[in-house]
Structure 1
């Protein structure tokens, strides 16, 4: 439904917006850039204080905005109120820096001029997008926001979600009309946990809005904190699609090298050497095989394929890539079993130490780690598994993976070591010394090929990698 708008709305006595229809492709009148000084006097509310929302809230606070950080999780808010970083990507000093208040009190949303929603958007057991968090957050925001507010969604969604899911929920809860009483934008998050080179300010921000005037406002807001600048998408749907396409492209490329590594293994050809040789060509793209975990690459393609399928087109290449990457944990388990057999180990009597359990190096997030699927398969063969990860506490490891966790790294008595997540802490392992602690004829499953094969075999390991 198109919202018909005919006059103008004054926001805080400072900024006016022509009332345009909320629809794709509507051209607004080109305006002079919104005054940044006026925007800097605004209050920002960030809804959802996870790995996306907290850095955003801190970024605005450090840029001298007044910020309200809202989350429904009481323990998260209490930790932040005590001045402790809950993400591991910031510092305790950063979460205390600037005019920022952390709260579970939804009434404080009413203080904000801009409300940015950064809640999770997972997939369900059938790989369908779950937008219930977006709907819930929109209902809460709608019930508290004041007329004239601008609501910006940053959560990953399929094209059309902002208009078809977020806006109706906001309107129903607020009894206000989008484009007339409040305004809407979409800016996909590009957070990269554990990557110091690509923080909030260092990555170009894609921004979009319901019309050109709101886009001017939203772009100016983000330009005030993003050093790398912003890219103005021509529509909300373009911005929504761009997010899922970014990670779907990576999923496709990783699936190619994962499938390649499996094929070359059958041909008894060194896959890593093949990629190094091919990489000498100037236009070859450097991707390496591995487990595909996390909250983006193994999730975002399903948002696109779901929406595309609704319109009658099945994106087969994307779907196949997902199947290939989902098969990798089983292949890693198979490599481990073959290595143990080559070492003449009895599987049900074997002990394997897994190094690194998070979904990628340098972070402690294990919620979507594919290492769990590897462990589950090995446990089906009654193999005894222990784990060590310097970024994850022992209790979390034991609860998530159902294995014993080491608080201090020890190789004594294990038949095999699996380097699953190559944290920097593992890159300088003395394989000769490690080998002496292990049982006779040990195996090393170096999933991503981080360690030197020649050094491993010289130290007495049966060596396997993707």
Structure 2
């Protein structure tokens, strides 16, 4: 393989697009996605994920395509497709299987196929490798080689971008590891950790998010405890955070494509070997129950202040899974909506970051286009701490709520403010 290998990136979402753009600064790169609308948007300089700016996208020396034929003749193929779970929270490997089948049809002797998708240990070699062999007619480890370099994209994070963070790499043999070290190291200034083997790299990735899930579960559990004591968990965390080794995890709904999903991959792997993953699944259970705890607390607080209101009008501020990102995947705000509707609430939703078409297509939610309202609400819920909501003035917030109504602050973003006696205020 040449010192300047040509590269394909399969899947141009939150992970694949930034990787493709930064690698294209150093190598010949072809970016592939099956979504024609996505490719058209990128050609027009628009990234709906907001990870890459229009100027950066327009200046990228990146070939974008939906044609499988355009993937032939390259040296390294990097697969960055999603790895979700099904309705039973079991790993859904269909996207990675299909991507492997597609790549298997076009690979050539000497190619390296690298997976960045989060999987449990063994998927790359035991599942993907045989698929590539079957579709290519080539022998894995002899005619082509496998690699793994787990993605570490944090949506909306402008500091820990793919070109500056440490990348883990692992190859099927030492030579492959060295080639991947050169490719990724050229992009990120040589910040490379070479894992012992592919399974070790797969395991490292899946525990990164499982660890965060467990820590958030602890904070969510104490948040519920302190609610019953009439204490805000945010006040408690602020005090405890003055100790030098206290871990700064925040309570809330755990959605998105990573933290709320990856622990199930690790749990699945454990059960195949007869081990019951009690801590991992306990954390998942705690975080999955948080939406019910929050919606119940908000409803009870409102009923205590306005017992005569049987069908409260409620405005939810925020729908995406995380602040200042447009990503709606696995958002848990929809659980809050469903539970409040079951309790009799009439719900409106506003989110300037979310794509209205996606909200309608995915959840049948018609987003409000503005915060203008002819009649104030019985309750507003600050569900996602977008910068625009953080910066709302007290007057702007109060104009949305009836006198005596409830301002519910799930994220604690307004907890240092005084809304006076005319309004009730609830904070997690």
TM-score by structure 1 length? 0.88
Distance 1:181 1:130 in 2: 28
TM-superposed deviation, 1:96: 2.8
- SS at 1:111 equivalent: coil
Cα deviation digits, residues 217-246 of structure 1 (max 9, x gap)? 111110000136111100111100111110
Runs of 4+, deviation exceeding 6 Å: none
Distance 2:366 2:36 in 1: 29
State whether structure 2 residue 343 is matched by structure 1 residue 377: no
1:39 maps to 3
Pick the aligned partner of 1:68 from 17, 30, 33. 30
**Alpha carbons of structure 1 residues 432 and 90: separation in structure 2 relative to 1, 3 Å:** same
**Alpha carbons of structure 1 residues 222 and 312: separation in structure 2 relative to 1, 3 Å:** same
State whether structure 2 residue 125 is matched by structure 1 residue 163: yes
Cα deviation digits, residues 15-53 of structure 1 (max 9, x gap)? xxxxxxxxxxxxxxxxxxxxxxx432x211001111111
TM-superposed deviation, 1:271: 2.3
TM-score by structure 2 length? 0.96
Distance 2:310 2:382 in 1: 21
Q: How many residues align?
A: 427
State whether structure 2 residue 215 is matched by structure 1 residue 253: yes
Pick the aligned partner of 2:406 from 443, 448, 456. 443
Cα deviation digits, residues 101-130 of structure 1 (max 9, x gap)? 111111121121110000110001111111
Cα deviation digits, residues 57-84 of structure 1 (max 9, x gap)? 1111123x11111111111122223332
Pick the aligned partner of 1:52 from 15, 24, 30. 15
1:145 maps to 107
2:386 maps to 423
Matches within 5 A, 1:20-419: 38-40=2-4, 42-63=5-26, 65-227=27-189, 229-346=191-308, 348-410=310-372, 412-419=375-382
Distance 2:396 2:67 in 1: 55
Distance 1:284 1:76 in 2: 42
Distance 1:203 1:231 in 2: 11
- SS at 2:281 equivalent: helix
**Alpha carbons of structure 1 residues 211 and 459: separation in structure 2 relative to 1, 3 Å:** farther
Q: Is the 8 A contact 2:49 2:325 kept in 1?
A: no
Q: Is the 8 A contact 1:51 1:191 kept in 2?
A: yes
Q: Is the 8 A contact 1:68 1:102 kept in 2?
A: yes
**Alpha carbons of structure 1 residues 437 and 218: separation in structure 2 relative to 1, 3 Å:** closer
Cα RMSD after superposing both structures: 1.6
Distance 2:74 2:252 in 1: 43
- SS at 2:163 equivalent: helix
Distance 1:388 1:55 in 2: 28
Distance 2:82 2:138 in 1: 25
- More deviation, 230-239/431-440: 431-440
1:6 maps to none
TM-superposed deviation, 1:408: 1.3
- More deviation, 266-275/191-200: 266-275
- SS at 2:295 equivalent: helix
Q: Is the 8 A contact 1:58 1:97 kept in 2?
A: no
Q: Is the 8 A contact 1:357 1:366 kept in 2?
A: yes
Distance 2:376 2:93 in 1: 47
Please, which runs of 5 or more residues in structure 1 have no aligned partner? Answer: 1-10, 12-37
Distance 1:373 1:433 in 2: 27
- SS at 1:96 equivalent: helix
